Amino acid sequence: MKHNKTKWMIAVAVLLFGAIIHAQRQDCYVIRADNQRIRAREITADANGNLSVNVDGNLKMPLRWGSYRLAMIPKPKEVEELEKLFDADNFDEVIKTAPAIFDQYKYLGWADTIAALQCESFLALGKPGEASAIFQNARKFPAENMQKFQRVLLLEMLAKKEFDRVENELKRMILDKDDSKAAFAFNMKGQLYEAKGQKREAILEYLKTVILFEGKGKLKRERDVAKQKAVALMKELKDPRVAKIEALK
């Protein structure tokens, strides 16, 4: 009986190990320029984007930069650590640490994730120009999901006065279940109205962020920015209710 139990445990362990290896392979692949998808055990890249693809432990396939659309490896530990820094609001450290990590993994499927963390950190610190520069550099490299740069793209569209496009995107973001996206959208809509010269409408959008997300600690930055902008506009328009807004916590 004990022998059978041992055999059963070994069998389960083998199955689990096989599942882990399979999952790793699912996250390790190359999509060639002709859209052929190649599973791999390991992929490495040199400084020029040329790949060495270890297909099965024996066969190594070289792929030159330009001959593939995307290479993807499992999430590196450095990227996980960068995400932890961002989640802890340690934006200065993200900005300081990210460039070296970006250079290491920019050809291996993580350029968009790393650069997006940099962009969001710059945006959190009120530096949209620096965020835009990071985005422009990141788009040169293969990426799985450029939607990670949605906020930067919206700011660029606003700068180009593409008001209709911005407004359509914001309508969708405002309805998002993610409060951080919705709060950003209300603030962005305030900026949109400001750019159009509609200052009272802008105030109302900023106040939506201040009031709707009260008590949401994670959104303190968005609320502080919204309150600051609303108060500045109200003072400019000599609105007598500005003191009530200034008193809001």
pLDDT computed for residue 18 by the predictor: 39
pLDDT band at 242 (very low <50, low <70, confident <90, very high): very high
The answer, yes or no, to whether residue 2 has pLDDT greater than 60, is: no
Segment 37-57, tens digit of pLDDT: 999 999 999 999 999 999 988
Task: State the pLDDT confidence band at 126, using cuts at 50, 70 and 90.
Answer: confident
Tell me what pLDDT residue 180 has: 86
pLDDT tens-digit series, residues 93-111 = 999 999 999 999 999 999 9
Question: What single DSSP character describes residue 42?
Answer: E
What is the residue-averaged pLDDT of the chain? 87
- Please report which residue ranges of the chain form alpha helices under DSSP H: 2-26, 77-87, 91-105, 111-124, 128-138, 150-159, 163-174, 179-196, 199-212, 220-236, 242-246
What is the average per-residue pLDDT within 130-156?
86
**Helix H or strand E segment including 132:** helix 128-138
Residue 6's pLDDT is what? 47
Residue 219 reports pLDDT greater than 70: yes
213 φ/ψ angles, rounded to the nearest 5 degrees = -115, 30
Q: How far apart are CA 243 and CA 228, in angstroms?
A: 12
pLDDT digits (tens, 9 = 90+) for 150-191: 888 888 888 889 999 999 999 999 998 889 889 999 999 999
pLDDT at 31 over 80: yes
State what percent of residues in the chain have pLDDT above 70: 90
* 216: region left, alpha or beta (phi > 0 left; psi from -120 to 50 alpha): beta
The mean pLDDT of 103-130, rounded to a whole number, is: 92
pTM of the model: 0.69
Q: Give dist(CA 99, CA 95) in Å, integer.
A: 7
